[in-house]
Amino acid sequence: MIRSLWLWCRGRIDGAGEGVSTFGYTAGTLAVPVAFLVASIVEAVALHLLVPWQWLRVVLLVLTAASLVAGACWFAARAVHPHLVTAEKLTLRSGRDTILVVDRNRIVRAVPTRRFDHTTAGIHDDRFYLPGPDGTVIDIDFDAPVYVGNGARVGSPRPATVTGVSLHVDAPRDLCARLSMRD
């Protein structure tokens, strides 16, 4: 996680390079971490004023700082690990986890479609949902079922196969255009 924070501070993207298109999925998600930061600062000041024992103030300040670093690492992991498209593969990621790698020849359709029915990652009716804060914005269908790994991280108790993916990206039309291009 610290590596993600380091990459984020340096303005680097994991996996970016020659022949690789990156598609982020963090637009509109910074409000909650910023609110958490403000609340943590207010909490630290209040605890400093209200707690009479110096040792407890120090412990609580260290815990607050650690939680802020953990939150920054979580957001940085999402920011520096975007979805990747190369001439051969589509790689879908969620933070540091690679959820799905599929050969681009297996993709039969990629269209912008806004869905609000699923707001957490999971597999429903043979479709994998990887939503943002307000659902999904693109549907990708495959010619045959594709293996999705990482079990519990994708809302399934075990790895499964899916016939399509609905996901949130910051630029759905650009991703659809890139997937429809044949290199």
The pLDDT score that the predictor gives to residue 91 is: 93
Residue 46 to residue 136: CA distance in whole angstroms: 39
Residues 6+ apart with CB under 8 A from 182: none
Mean pLDDT of all residues in 54-82:
90
Q: Name residue, tokens 């707690």.
A: 51
Mean pLDDT of all residues in 87-93:
92
The pLDDT score that the predictor gives to residue 154 is: 58
Mean pLDDT of the chain: 87
The pLDDT score that the predictor gives to residue 82 is: 94
For 34-57, the pLDDT digits (tens) are: 898 899 889 889 988 999 999 999
90 has pLDDT over 50: yes
Residue 140 to residue 176: CA distance in whole angstroms: 9
Mean pLDDT of all residues in 92-119:
89
Domain boundaries, the chain: 2-13+27-80, 83-180
* Percentage with pLDDT > 90 across the chain: 43
The pLDDT score that the predictor gives to residue 155 is: 59
Residue 150 to residue 158: CA distance in whole angstroms: 8
The two structure tokens encoding residue 108: 């039969």
Beta bridge partners of 94: 97
For 134-170, the pLDDT digits (tens) are: 788 999 999 999 888 654 455 556 667 899 999 999 9
For 107-138, the pLDDT digits (tens) are: 999 999 888 888 888 888 888 888 887 788 99
Residue 13 to residue 1: CA distance in whole angstroms: 14
The pLDDT score that the predictor gives to residue 151 is: 46
* pTM score of the predicted model: 0.82
Q: From the CB of residue 103, how many other CB atoms can be counted at a distance below 10 Å?
A: 12
Residue 131 to residue 173: CA distance in whole angstroms: 16
Q: Pick the most confident of 20-29, 80-89, 155-164.
A: 80-89
